[in-house]
Amino acid sequence: MDFYEVVENRRSIRKYKTIPVEEEKLKRILEAVRIAPSAANRQPWHFIVIKDEAAKQNLKEAYAREWFYTAPVVICACGEPGKAWIRRDGKNYVDVDVSIAFEHLVLAATAEGLGTCWIGAFDPAKLRAALGLPDGIEPIAMTPLGYPDEVPKATSRKSMTEIVRPNTW
Ligand SMILES: Cc1cc2nc3c(=O)[nH]c(=O)nc-3n(C[C@H](O)[C@H](O)[C@H](O)COP(=O)(O)O)c2cc1C
């Protein structure tokens, strides 16, 4: 798949086959995450890879959807705001940086024939407790990772003219 095919084929997958994800594929995906860009190259991120069934079940307090647990792997992306670049007006770039790396994960998984679904609607306090996150580390996004067991239709998008403005607002 070339880059544009990957972008066009990606879908949020909410049903997974139980077959495991090959280690080589997981390694390549995590390498795509590792080399993502970040503001001032601070790399203020950590990725928790959860394969252990008991550890996965622990997450149910934080995110209860049954379909999420059909995938063999779950990855939680965490940010470390204290390590992130801060713009002069005080804006901390941790969410931007982690999101870029997370989208690398999502697109690399698609290129490997694997599915993901970006999850933001978890309970952060419960997720922190389930994963044992120390102070200063924030959970930002989670995804299941596995072979898709559904082929969702493409969801709609705004038109080009709604979102692109020439030269000024
Ligand atoms: C930042 C972010 C948070 C999201 N959170 C959730 C979520 O909590 N639960 C869920 O089922 N989907 C979640 N999604 C998936 C979106 O609903 C989905 O990307 C969107 O509807 C477009 O569909 P598509 O990904 O299949 O193109 C999230 C996506 C993004 C980018």
pTM for this structure? 0.98
Q: Do the domain assignments include residue 36?
A: yes
Does 33 fall in a domain? yes
The candidate with the shortest Cα–Cα distance to 33, out of 102, 127, 135, 92, is: 102
State the Cα–Cα distance between residues 147 and 19, nearest whole angstrom: 7
* The total number of structural domains that make up the chain: 1
Q: Which atom of ligand 1 lies at the shortest distance from residue 152's CA?
A: 26
Q: Is 64 in the pocket of ligand 1 (CB under 6 A)?
A: no
Query: Would you say residue 45 lies in a domain?
Result: yes
What is the residue range of 143's domain?
A: 3-148
Cα–ligand 1 centroid distance for 167 (angstroms): 30
Q: Is 38 among the domain residues?
A: yes
Residue 43 placed within a domain: yes
Between vectors from CA 156 to CA 93 and to CA 29, what angle results, nearest 5°? Answer: 50
119 in a domain, yes or no? yes
The reply to whether 154 falls in a domain is no
* pLDDT tens across the length of the chain (169 residues): 899 999 999 999 999 999 999 999 999 999 999 999 999 999 999 999 999 999 999 999 999 999 999 999 999 999 999 999 999 999 999 999 999 999 999 999 999 999 999 999 999 999 999 999 999 999 999 999 999 999 999 999 999 999 999 999 9
Whichever domain contains 58, its CATH number is 3.40.109.10
